[in-house]
Amino acid sequence: MQVIDSANEIKDQAADWFDHASDYFEARWNLGVLEVSEKTAGVVSSLASAVIIGTIGTITLLFVSLGVAWLIGQQLNSPALGFFIVAGFYALVGIIMYMVKDKLIKVPVVNSFIKRFYYES
C-alpha cells in the first residue's frame, strides 16, 4: 500500500508542478506580448508625431522658400532667376546632406530606435 500511496503522491506533486510551470510560462508569454505591444505603440506614436511635424515643417519651408524666391526675383527683376537661385541653394544642401547622411541621419535614427526598444522601460 505504501508504494501505491507514494506513487500517487509523486503523481500529484508532478501534476501540481506541471500546473505551476504552465501557469508561469503563460504569464511570461503574456508579459512578453505586453512589453512588445507597449514598445511597438511607442515607436508608432513617435513615428506618427515625426510625420505630422515633418509635414507641417515641409509646408512651412515651402512657403518660406517661395517667398524668398519671389523677393530675390523682384530684386533681380527676374522672378525665374529668384526661383533658380533658391533651387540651387536646396540642391547644394541636398548634396551636402547626401554626403553626410550616415553621420547625421542614419546613426541618430538607429540609436533612437535602439534606445526606445531596449533601454526605456
Q: Is residue 121 pLDDT above 60, yes or no?
A: no
pLDDT digits (tens, 9 = 90+) for 20-61: 888 889 989 999 888 888 888 887 888 899 899 999 999 999
Distance CA 44, CA 74 (A): 45
pLDDT of residue 8: 74
Q: Write down how long the chain is.
A: 121
In DSSP notation, the chain reads -HHHHHHHHHHHHHHHHHHHHHHHHHHHHHHHHHHHHHHHHHHHHHHHHHHHHHHHHHHHHHHHHHHHHHHHHHHTT-HHHHHHHHHHHHHHHHHHHHHTHIIIIIHHHHHHHHIIIII--
pLDDT digits (tens, 9 = 90+) for 77-114: 999 999 999 999 999 999 999 999 888 888 888 887 77
Distance CA 35, CA 1 (A): 51
